[in-house]
Amino acid sequence: MTIVARHILTPGFAGKRTSPTHGLSGVGRWLFRPILRTATSGLGTGVLRPAVFLALSALLGTHWRAAAAPGQDASFCNLGRSPNAIAAITEIGRSDLVSADAKQWQGGGVTVTTSARRDGLEVELSAPGLAVKRLELRWKTELAPDWKYVGDAWERAYGDLEWKPLDPERIMPWYFLASNGQLTHDYGVKTGAAALCRWTADASGITLNADVRSGRVGVQLGQRKLAVATVLCRRGTVGETAFAAAQAFCKLMSPQPRLAKQPVYGFNDWYCYDYSTEEIAGRWGFEMKGEMIADGWAFADRSRTTAEVILELYRDIRQAVANDTLVLGCNTIGHLAAGLFELQRIGDDTSGKDWSRTRKMGVNSLAFRAPQHGTFFAVDGDCAGQVETDSVPWEKNRQWLELLARSGTPLFVSFPRETVHPEQEAALRAALAAASRKLPLGEPLDWQEQRTPSRWRLEGRERDFSW
């Protein structure tokens, strides 16, 4: 966690309707037509009563899906409906929950309630007398293997964000996007969840794993009901870019970001407190993979989830500083920090010695997490700098400095005075001047093809970089 005092400068200072039995076998049509005749009685052809629709949706899974509207695609899975299956993993074992109404799910002493609201599907957990570790929610759907998918990171990114083909073993924290290059759908949870949420996707469905443990042990809620998470999804439209879809979905996930009133830029030369996530979780982001928390410990208060404890820490920090103080999270969890911190470091450290590290950590994180800028917080791709003259090739460092300055995101620089010669000074002056203005967000144009995009749209113009 870093409270910003980086010599910050501001401008003041320098349905179509479909047959309900479409897709069913002949036997299936024979079984369900009497039910459907009753269900649609008095409502018009192909119109179902809500209760019957929910019941049939849960039963039929992928066989019931409204036809796509013009300009849309039937590949979208609506996570706003109740899942097809829910399981609870407690310290006793696994329980597959059952539901009679597709709203309240029960089994093994655990109750999960799913409520469709205007802003998403709310998931609530109740488990008196039990220690619950996880919930697994499963939606049946058909996902195309020739589409590409990308998820977020647990905390900072480590140069590993990338669009990839469908992989059932891939862990995607917080949210993910699915795209065929022409259409992009989005799935995730609202920021500020009470669980550490991750997604997996395979050819037959989408699974949300909500980690509600208290450290490495099950949470003991007692009589308390836990608002686990709000599940969100967004159906893409033909013609929008994957980047635009990501921006729109980030705004949906984080409806009330806390943002600085003016552009933030300056010199990176002072810190307060850092590494809070590593100290809590016992591991760095690149070590987390599918498990964020390391083995062998529990919070003193086992009635609160790890996500709740971390959220309380962030709120305490926010309340402890002056209202006009900008807080920059570093090694913090962006999905929990959104709405509390004005700025967030989005990737691991860049380097004043090793250009390959800057390219890997800086360019990658800026490209793939730029959609969070202005929607979650202001994103900090980390500084442009060098330890000594030419410790990083100036031709490369100059380009990284330019990208940061013209991307519309915060710019921090770290150049010892003795390393700044006339050429560097001129570039720094120009970069700081650009960063002082409110610029449109830079867009990576080839981020679906490579980890470190070289083609960008900056200030409305296309720019090619040689990394």
- pLDDT the model gives residue 283: 86
**Would 123 be classed as within a structural domain?**
yes
Whether residues 169 and 270 fall in one domain: no
Domain-embedded: residue 72: no
**Based on the domain organization, do 117 and 202 belong to the same domain?**
yes
Q: Indicate whether 41 and 108 sit together in one domain.
A: no
CA of residue 121 relative to chain centroid, distance: 16
Write down the pTM of the prediction: 0.84
**Residue 433 belongs to some domain of the structure:** yes
Domain-ending residue, one of 252, 269, 291: 252
- Token look-up 């010892």 returns 416
Q: Which residue has the tokens 């997490």?
A: 369
| pLDDT confidence of residue 156 | 95
Q: Which residues contact 187 (CB under 8 A, 6 or more apart)?
A: 77, 79, 175, 176, 177, 178, 199, 206, 232, 233, 234
295: Cβ–Cβ under 8 A, 6 or more apart, which residues?
Answer: 216, 282
- Give the separation between CA 212 and CA 299, rounded to whole angstroms: 13
At residue 445, φ and ψ (nearest 5 deg) are: -90, -20
**Are 384 and 419 contacting, i.e. CB atoms less than 8 angstroms apart?**
no
Residues 195 and 320 in one domain: no
Q: Looking at the structure, tell me whether residues 391 and 444 fall in a common domain.
A: yes
Please say whether the beta carbons of 338 and 257 come within 8 A: yes
- Of 202, 231, 252, the one marking the end of a domain is 252
Is there a single domain that holds both residue 331 and residue 450? yes
* 96 and 237 inside one domain: yes
Name the CA radius of gyration of the chain, rounded: 24
CATH number at residue 437: 3.20.20.70
Which domain covers residue 237, as residue numbers? 85-252
pLDDT of residue 274: 74
Distance CA 281, CA 299 (A): 11
Number of domains within the chain: 3
pLDDT of 269 reads: 63
pLDDT of residue 270: 62
Compute φ and ψ for 66, nearest 5 degrees. -60, 145
Within this chain, do residues 387 and 455 fall inside the same structural domain, yes or no?
yes
Same domain, 133 and 201: yes
Angle (CA) 323 327 332, round 5° = 135
Query: Which residues on neighbouring strands pair with residue 151, listed in sequence order?
Result: 176
* Domain termination residue (choose one: 235, 252, 269): 252
Q: How many CB atoms lie within 10 A of CB 281?
A: 24
Tokens of 320: 């402890």
On whether residue 119 sits in a domain, the answer given is yes
Across 293-311, b (16+ Cβ under 10 Å) vs e yields beeeebbeebebbbbbebb
Contact (CB, 8 A) for 377 and 342: yes
116 falls within a domain: yes
Q: Indicate whether 428 and 316 sit together in one domain.
A: yes
Same domain, 233 and 262: no
398: burial class by Cβ within 10 Å (0-12, 13-18, 19+)?
middle
Neighbour tally for 349: CB within 10 Å: 14
Q: Is position 76 within any domain?
A: no
How confident is the prediction along the chain (467 residues), in pLDDT tens digits per residue? 433 433 333 333 233 333 333 333 333 333 333 333 333 333 333 333 333 333 333 333 333 333 444 444 578 999 999 999 999 999 999 999 999 999 999 999 999 999 999 989 999 999 999 999 999 999 999 998 899 999 999 999 999 999 999 999 999 999 999 999 999 999 999 999 999 999 999 999 999 999 999 999 999 999 999 999 999 999 999 999 999 999 999 999 999 999 999 999 998 766 586 789 888 888 888 888 888 887 778 899 999 999 999 999 999 999 999 889 999 999 999 999 999 999 999 999 999 999 999 999 999 999 999 999 999 999 999 999 999 988 999 999 999 999 999 999 999 999 999 999 999 999 999 999 999 999 999 999 999 999 999 999 999 999 999 99
pLDDT at position 296, please?
76
Residues 294 and 415 in one domain: yes
Asked whether residue 78 is domain-assigned, the answer is no
CA distance 285 to 297: 18
Q: Is residue 69 part of a domain?
A: no
